[in-house]
Amino acid sequence: MKRGPLLAAYVLLAGLTTSKLVLADEAPRSVVVAPHADKSDKPPADLSGRKRVGKASIYAKRFAGHKMADGERMQIHGDNAASKTLPIGTTAKVTNIETGASAVVKIEDRGPHVKGRIVDLSPSTAHKIGIDSKDGVAKVSMEPIEVPLPNGATKAGVAAHDPANR
């Protein structure tokens, strides 16, 4: 069975590469190889301090006590949160769009690892802003208060001047 053109079309569509494989007593054949994930696959750090709107989810309770990206242990009763793009150490105000309830969180981990979500919240923070474990997801706005910069300085975020966030 000839697979050359079909395999090539699949490889192009899937963004994969091919490699020649030779086994003992066989003719060479093409094998599909998945691309290696490298640092360029990560979204760039967002140092802008701007407001963002998207979906928030709740950290699963099974992660309680696990080490987060900042080296601390996840506390289900803490104000910890995870973001893919905000730098570790960022403080931010998270507001549930539907309820209007807000809480201040500290970004201590990476995630969420689900497309379309911008923040994972500790169960207690999610409860404070009206996200229950039954639904598990809500539309929120996230406004950074203070964003750590790579040089050790900090940048004021969009919510920095709101006295309610101090």
In the predicted structure, residue 3 carries a pLDDT above the cut 60: no
Which of 50, 54, 46 lies closest to 143, judged by CA? 50
Identify whether residues 69 and 149 lie together within a single domain. yes
Give the rounded percent of residues in the chain with a pLDDT score beyond 70: 74
Is 60 exceeded by the pLDDT of residue 1? no
77 and 126 share a domain?
yes
Q: Give start and end residues of each alpha helix (H) in 15-154.
A: 123-128
**Do 144 and 93 belong to one domain?**
yes
> Each residue of 83-100: pLDDT tens digit?
999 999 999 999 999 999
**Would residue 132 count as lying in a domain?**
yes
pLDDT digits (tens, 9 = 90+) for 139-164: 999 999 999 999 999 999 999 987 77
Does the residue 155 lie in any domain?
yes
Q: Which of 15-19, 69-73, 92-96, 118-122 has the lowest mean pLDDT?
A: 15-19
13 C-beta neighbours (distance < 10 Å), count: 8
In a domain, 44, yes or no: no
Evaluate whether residue 43 is within a structural domain: no
Query: Domain for residue 46, yes or no?
Result: no
Same domain? 28 vs 62: no
Give the three-class secondary structure for 97. coil
Print the domain residue range for 28. 4-37
Q: Are 118 and 52 in contact (CB under 8 A)?
A: yes
Q: What is the pLDDT of residue 106?
A: 97
**Nearest-angstrom CA–CA distance, 120 and 141:** 13
42 within a domain of the structure (yes/no): no
Same domain (yes/no): 56, 20: no
Q: Are residues 27 and 65 in the same domain?
A: no
pLDDT for 22 equals: 42
Q: Which run of H or of E encompasses 30?
A: strand 29-33
Same domain? For 80 and 12 the reply is no
Does 120 have pLDDT greater than 90?
yes
Whether residue 71 is contained in a domain is answered as yes
Q: What is the 3-class SS of 104-153, one letter each residue?
A: EEEEEECCCCCCCEEEEECHHHHHHCCCCCCCCEEEEEEEEEEEECCCCC
